[in-house]
Amino acid sequence: MEKAIIMAACALGAGISMFGGIGPGIGEGYAVGKACEAIGRQPETKGDVTTTMLMGCAVAETTGLYSLIIAMLLIFVAPGLFIGKL
Amino acid sequence: MNVEITGARIFLRLPFGILITETQVNMWIIMLVIALLCKWLTHNLKIKPAGKRQVVAEYLVTMANNFVVTNMGKSFKSFAPFIGALFTLSLLCSLSGLFGLYPPTADLNTTLGFATVTFVLIMYYKLKTNGLKGYLKGLAEPIPVLAPFNIIGEFSTPISMAIRMFGNISTGVVISTLVYAALAWLSSVVLQWLPGALASIPILQLGLPAILSIYFDLFSSVLQSFIFCMLTVLYIAQEAKSE
C-alpha cells in the first residue's frame, strides 16, 4: 500500500513539475516571432538574427530543463530512494 | 510491454569504488576516432594544397579561428584550439547516438566535466582582471545583503551549462526509447491477425523514429555543442574585458 502511494506521488509530482515547460514555450515562441518580424523587415540580416535567436532560445530553455531534471529525478531516482527506506 | 530506460551501464567495478561505465568506454572510442581523424587530416601537408583532404583541414582551422576572433577579439586567438576541441568532442559525443552508442553527453558527469573546465577558465579571467580583492568586493554589490545570491549566481553558470546539454541529449534518448517501445506495442496489436512470427515484426518502427532522430540527434546535438562553445566564449570574453 505504502509502495503504491509513493509511486503515485512520484508520478504525480513528475507530471506537475513539467508545468515548468510552459514558461520556456511561451518565451521561445515570442522570441521566434520577433525574429521573424526582424527578418521580414531586414531580410539581409537573416544569418545574424537566426544565430542570436537560437542562442537566446537555448538560454531561455534552461528553466524548462530544470523542471525536466526534477521530473526525471522523481521518476528514476526517488521511488528507489523512498521505497528502500520503508 | 516492457520499457527499459537506463543510464550508462556499468561494465567493470574496480577497487576504491571506481566504475568503468558505458560513458567512459564510448568516450574512449570517440577520443580514438578524433585522434585518428586529426592524424589523417594533417599528415603530409604541403604549402600548395594538393588534395581535398588538406582543403578540408584548412577550412576547419580557419572556421575555428574566425569564430573565436569575431566573438572574443584578436587578443584571444590562442583560444581557438581549445574551442575547436571542445566543439568537436561534444559534437561527436552527441552524434554517437546515431550509431547506436550511448551518447556520453547523456550522462551528467560528462557535461559537468565540460562545464568545470569552462568554470575554471571564467574564474581565472575574473581573478586576473579584478584581482582577489576586487573580486570579493564585486560579490558584495550592489549591497552586502545580496552576497549569498551573488555566490549562488557564480555557481549557477556551470551548472546551468551542464544541465542544458545533458537535458537536451538525454531527453532525446528517453523519448526515442519510449517511441520505439510504443511503436513495437502498436504494431503487435495491429498485426496480431498474422500467423506465427510474422506478427512480432515491428513494422511500424519504420519512418517516425527516423524523423525524430533528425531533430533529437542531428539538430539538437549540433545546436547544443554550438551553444556550449558560444557561451564559453562569451563568458570568458565578458570577464576578461570588464575592468
**Tell me, what's the pLDDT at A37?**
95
- Asked casually if ipTM beats, i.e. exceeds, 0.85, the reply is no
- Cβ–Cβ gap A62/B164 under 8 Å: yes
CB nearest A58 (choices: B170, B171, B223)? B223
Work out the mean pLDDT of chain B and round it to a whole number: 84
* Per-residue pLDDT tens digits for B97-150: 888 788 888 888 889 999 999 999 888 888 888 888 888 888 887 788 888 888
> Partners of B12 in the beta sheet?
B20
pLDDT digits (tens), chain A, 86 positions: 888 888 899 999 999 999 989 999 999 999 999 999 999 999 998 888 988 888 888 888 888 888 988 998 888 888 888 877 77
Residues of B in contact with A55 (CB under 8 A): 227, 230
Q: What is the largest CA-CA distance in chain A?
A: 64
Cβ-in-10-Å burial (0-12, 13-18, 19+) of A77 comes to: exposed
Residues of A in contact with B160 (CB under 8 A): 62
* Per-residue pLDDT tens digits for B220-241: 888 889 889 988 888 888 877 7
Q: Which of A21-35, B70-84, B200-214 has the lowest mean pLDDT?
A: B200-214
- Cβ–Cβ gap B167/A76 under 8 Å: no
- Cβ–Cβ gap B174/A72 under 8 Å: yes
The single residue listed with the C-alpha cell 587578443 is: B75
Concatenating the DSSP letter of every residue in B78-131 gives: GGHHHHHHHHHHHHHHHHGGGGTSPPGGGSHHHHHHHHHHHHHHHHHHHHHHHH
CB B89 within 8 A of CB B30: yes
Q: What is the largest CA-CA distance in chain B?
A: 79
- Cβ–Cβ gap B164/A65 under 8 Å: yes
Q: What is the mean pLDDT of residues B60-81?
A: 86
pTM for this structure?
Answer: 0.83
3-class secondary-structure state, position B44: coil
Nearest CA in chain A to B234: A55
